């Protein structure tokens, strides 16, 4: 597949993310960039919830499940909006058409620069991401397509026999499966293009909604927000080059929408585009979408949103105090602090989050270094973004003059604090703060652009406004004498000063997890030779068969690459006694009756030997001696081979 061939797939991914939610947002009364930007959050929530509901109702997963669900929601929202409008007769003034036009035009350079980053970073549209996490994400999509079950409540064990079902947020996998079902594309290509659309389309749109709430009806702000949103290293590019954290990426694109709703509810929105009546359900939708994408984004929204809620409560308290109602003036802030404090205390001690809080990443720098990296937007030893960081600092300083930015600065400080703790301390006692993000500095660093984008946009607007007020541009044309024109020019200068929004560094960040596919088989999940072998043996394995394998030799990717189920569908086998025993003793099938008992229990009829070892330095392949090449041992029939790669039918148990 060439990148030109991938354009239709990218358009389908964008359509699945935006179009289902758009009728809901328009029927709810949203218009312009707010309606378009909020639509993906609605889509994610409806897709994730409909997948759970379909499984509960015994309905197989298909493209019709989310489409019918969103149609039902749209009808309900439309009727509700009509009734409320008639009763209260409240219609919010629509944004000027120029606001949407400016936003869409601002997406053009984003698409150009973002596409260059993706092409240089991924190499090929269908290139495999060579990381630990991608094995699960690819195979989860394969499991959904094979089983027709896309529920987040059962996704965690990938449907392996004897393991039951466990929760894993599945909205990402559900959406990728819809792209595959719609186009017939391969899972790796659909995953890569879905991630790319999130980075260069959905994330900029979400940032525009947040900036619209912070700054108001500003054509200039809409024109430059998109470009600013993809300038930061830590998000979206950081999570596309680490992990790879696709579900987290999906959740983070929803986070600005949830915070935008909080601004409406706390009374901080400038020329509120949502209204409180819409903000309440939108906040709930955002939390559902984030929870089914990746739950740690729920904590990101709550942490940053806390400062908006507290700021709104403090402003109301000041008004009450000045009116002489001093007793009531203290109630609001106290309630906010106590409520959020109680939620934090519960989450910091709840047993349900204990496994997440116990995750450990060794500290790798001093607190001073971590602070410096955060201020330079160079977290986790990335390249310092000097020009962008200078503009962020201008935005922070502006908060002293502009009240609308003060809660933004507080949220920015929280993100810096959490990153510094994770990167430089990460002790058991600090897990009460960072444990909700697996104590992972990469996930925490990704929070900073949520507040960084509004700060940069505010700084650009301030600079443009001040320049026009000084009246020092008499010889320039009318466009450059306007705030909008000057803001666009300043944004363009920022692009130039950052050498194309640091596109080279961003591409290298992504390339680090894709380049392994072009190295030797000893350092990659699946080599080109392995892939060709898997495709050759596909028709020799029945579609309903279970294949024994060593998950560390490339065969772990068979469920997503050729649609054949393996007992090792993740890089670490679960503690099921049947899997464990086969992994240790399968080669002795002809003389060990217990092997046949477990093989029949799991339906294992084939053995595949792959080539190479992922992370071979760990010696993990040696942990599964039962899945080595049986050679001439009885009980196996060789069906195909290519050097060390072999396919055997297990003849000793009658399961093959």
Which residues, other chains included, contact 192 with Cβ-Cβ below 8 Å and sequence gap of 6+? 118, 122, 125, 126, 127, 129
User: Looking at the predicted structure, is the pLDDT value of residue 475 above 90?
Assistant: no
Poorest-pLDDT segment among 119-128, 153-162, 435-444, 573-582: 573-582
Return the bridge partners of 609, or none: 646
User: Looking at the predicted structure, is the pLDDT value of residue 65 above 80?
Assistant: yes
Q: Mean pLDDT over residues 533-537, rounded?
A: 95
Tokens of 494: 């920022």
Measured between alpha carbons, how far is 158 from 456 in angstroms, rounded to an integer? Answer: 43
User: Looking at the predicted structure, is the pLDDT value of residue 33 above 60?
Assistant: yes
User: Looking at the predicted structure, is the pLDDT value of residue 125 above 80?
Assistant: yes
User: Looking at the predicted structure, is the pLDDT value of residue 521 above 60?
Assistant: no
Name the helix (H) or strand (E) containing 607: strand 604-609
User: Looking at the predicted structure, is the pLDDT value of residue 520 above 60?
Assistant: no
Q: Mean pLDDT over residues 355-371, rounded?
A: 93
Q: Mean pLDDT over residues 342-351, rounded?
A: 93
Which residues, other chains included, contact 225 with Cβ-Cβ below 8 Å and sequence gap of 6+? 103, 106, 204, 207, 208, 211, 453, 457
> Distance between terminal CA atoms of the chain?
35
- b vs e for 264-278, b when ≥16 Cβ sit within 10 Å of the residue's Cβ? bbbebbbebbbbebb
Measured between alpha carbons, how far is 237 from 507 in angstroms, rounded to an integer? Answer: 8
Which residues, other chains included, contact 92 with Cβ-Cβ below 8 Å and sequence gap of 6+? 29, 272, 273, 275
Q: Mean pLDDT over residues 11-20, rounded?
A: 98
As a whole-number percent, the residues of the chain with pLDDT over 70 amount to 94
Q: Mean pLDDT over residues 621-628, rounded?
A: 83
Return the bridge partners of 547, or none: 566, 606
Q: Mean pLDDT over residues 7-32, rounded?
A: 96
Measured between alpha carbons, how far is 445 from 385 in angstroms, rounded to an integer? Answer: 14
As a whole number, the mean pLDDT across the chain is 91
The DSSP code for 447 is: T
Q: Is 69 helix (H, G, I), strand (E, B) or coil?
A: helix
Measured between alpha carbons, how far is 620 from 571 in angstroms, rounded to an integer? Answer: 9
Residue 320's pLDDT is 86
User: Looking at the predicted structure, is the pLDDT value of residue 613 above 80?
Assistant: no
Residue 299's pLDDT is 96
User: Looking at the predicted structure, is the pLDDT value of residue 252 above 80?
Assistant: yes
Q: Give yes or no for a contact between 289 and 48, defined as CB atoms under 8 angstroms apart.
A: yes
Which residues, other chains included, contact 134 with Cβ-Cβ below 8 Å and sequence gap of 6+? 128, 191, 243, 244, 246, 513, 525
Task: Please report which confidence band the pLDDT of residue 513 belongs to, taking 50, 70 and 90 as the band edges.
Answer: confident
* Burial class of 622 by CB neighbour count within 10 A (0 to 12, 13 to 18, 19+): exposed
Poorest-pLDDT segment among 86-95, 368-377, 410-419, 486-495: 86-95
User: Looking at the predicted structure, is the pLDDT value of residue 519 above 80?
Assistant: no
Q: Which of 13-17, 25-29, 510-514 has the highest mean pLDDT?
A: 13-17
Residue 529's pLDDT is 87
Higher pLDDT: 469 or 40? It is 40
Measured between alpha carbons, how far is 646 from 527 in angstroms, rounded to an integer? Answer: 15
The DSSP code for 30 is: -
Measured between alpha carbons, how far is 541 from 300 in angstroms, rounded to an integer? Answer: 45
Residue 257's pLDDT is 98
Poorest-pLDDT segment among 232-241, 304-313, 557-566, 575-584: 575-584
Tokens of 111: 């698409």
Angle formed at CA 404 by CA 445 and CA 421, multiple of 5 degrees: 25
Is the pTM higher than 0.85? The answer reads: yes
Q: Give yes or no for a contact between 521 and 530, defined as CB atoms under 8 angstroms apart.
A: yes
Which residues, other chains included, contact 350 with Cβ-Cβ below 8 Å and sequence gap of 6+? none
Residue 145's pLDDT is 96
CA Rg value for the chain: 26
3-state SS, one letter per residue, for 507-542: HHHHHHHHHHHHCCHHHCCCCHHHHHHHHHHHHHCC
Poorest-pLDDT segment among 262-276, 348-362, 491-505, 562-576: 562-576
User: Looking at the predicted structure, is the pLDDT value of residue 220 above 50?
Assistant: yes
Task: Please report which confidence band the pLDDT of residue 617 belongs to, taking 50, 70 and 90 as the band edges.
Answer: very low
Measured between alpha carbons, how far is 220 from 460 in angstroms, rounded to an integer? Answer: 9
Task: Please report which confidence band the pLDDT of residue 32 belongs to, taking 50, 70 and 90 as the band edges.
Answer: very high
Q: What is the pLDDT of residues 154-204, one digit of tens each?
A: 999 988 887 888 899 999 999 999 999 999 999 999 999 999 999 999 999
Name the helix (H) or strand (E) containing 645: strand 645-650
Which residues, other chains included, contact 539 with Cβ-Cβ below 8 Å and sequence gap of 6+? none
User: Looking at the predicted structure, is the pLDDT value of residue 478 above 80?
Assistant: no
């Amino acid at each position: 597949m060439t990148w030109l061939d991938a354009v239709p797939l990218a358009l389908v991914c964008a359509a699945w993310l935006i179009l289902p939610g758009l009728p809901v947002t328009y029927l709810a009364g949203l218009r312009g960039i707010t309606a378009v930007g909020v639509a993906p959050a609605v889509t994610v929530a409806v897709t994730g919830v409909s997948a759970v509901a379909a499984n509960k109702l015994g309905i197989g997963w298909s493209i019709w499940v989310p489409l019918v669900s969103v149609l039902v929601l749209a009808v309900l929202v439309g009727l509700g909006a009509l009734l409320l409008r008639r009763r209260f007769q409240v219609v919010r003034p629509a944004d000027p058409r120029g606001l949407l036009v400016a936003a869409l035009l601002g997406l053009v350079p984003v698409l150009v620069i973002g596409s260059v980053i993706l092409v240089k970073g991924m190499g090929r549209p269908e290139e495999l991401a060579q990381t630990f996490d991608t094995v699960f994400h690819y195979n989860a999509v394969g499991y959904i397509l094979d089983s027709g079950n896309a529920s987040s409540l059962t996704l965690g064990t990938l449907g392996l026999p004897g393991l039951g079902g466990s929760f894993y947020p599945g909205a990402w996998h559900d959406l990728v499966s819809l792209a595959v079902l719609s186009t017939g594309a391969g899972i790796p290509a659909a995953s890569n293009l879905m991630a790319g659309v999130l980075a260069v389309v959905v994330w900029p749109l979400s940032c525009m909604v947040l900036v619209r709430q912070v700054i108001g009806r500003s054509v200039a702000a809409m024109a430059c927000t998109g470009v600013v949103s993809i300038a930061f290293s830590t998000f979206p590019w950081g999570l596309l080059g680490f992990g790879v954290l696709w579900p987290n990426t999906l959740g983070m694109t929803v986070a600005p929408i949830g915070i935008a709703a909080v601004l409406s509810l706390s009374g901080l929105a400038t020329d509120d585009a949502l209204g409180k009546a819409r903000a309440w359900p939108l906040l709930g939708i955002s939390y559902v979408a984030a929870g089914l994408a990746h739950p740690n984004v729920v904590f990101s929204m709550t942490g940053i949103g806390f400062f908006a809620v507290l700021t709104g409560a403090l402003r109301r308290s000041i008004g009450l105090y000045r009116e002489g109602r001093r007793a009531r003036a203290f109630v609001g802030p106290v309630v906010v602090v106590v409520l959020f404090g109680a939620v934090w205390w519960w989450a910091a001690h709840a047993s349900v989050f204990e496994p997440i809080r116990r995750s450990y990443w060794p500290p790798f720098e001093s607190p001073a270094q971590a602070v410096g990296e955060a201020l330079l937007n160079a977290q986790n030893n990335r390249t310092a973004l000097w020009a962008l960081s200078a503009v962020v600092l201008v935005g922070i300083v502006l908060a002293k003059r502009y009240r609308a930015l003060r809660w933004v600065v507080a949220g920015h400080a929280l993100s810096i604090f959490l990153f510094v703790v994770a990167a430089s301390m990460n002790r058991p006692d600090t897990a009460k703060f960072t444990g909700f993000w697996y104590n992972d500095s990469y996930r925490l660093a990704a929070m900073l652009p949520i507040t960084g984008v509004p700060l940069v946009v505010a700084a650009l607007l301030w600079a443009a406004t001040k320049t026009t007020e000084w009246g020092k541009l008499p010889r320039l044309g009318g466009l450059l004498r306007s705030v909008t024109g000057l803001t666009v020019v300043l944004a363009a200068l920022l692009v130039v000063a950052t050498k194309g929004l640091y596109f080279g560094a961003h591409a290298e960040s992504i390339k680090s997890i894709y380049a392994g596919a072009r190295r030797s088989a000893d350092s990659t999940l699946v080599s080109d030779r392995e892939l060709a072998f898997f495709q050759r043996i596909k028709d020799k394995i029945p579609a309903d068969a279970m294949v024994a394998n060593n998950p560390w030799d490339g065969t772990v990717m068979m469920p997503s690459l050729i649609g054949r189920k393996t007992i090792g569908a993740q890089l670490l086998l679960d503690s099921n006694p049947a899997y464990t025993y086969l992994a240790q003793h399968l080669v002795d099938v002809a003389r060990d009756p217990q092997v046949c008992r477990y093989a029949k229990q799991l339906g294992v009829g084939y053995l595949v030997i792959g080539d190479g070892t992922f992370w071979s330095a760990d010696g993990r392949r040696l942990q599964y001696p039962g899945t080595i090449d049986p050679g001439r041992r009885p009980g196996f029939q060789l069906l195909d081979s290519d050097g060390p790669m072999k396919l055997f039918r297990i003849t000793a148990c009658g399961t093959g």
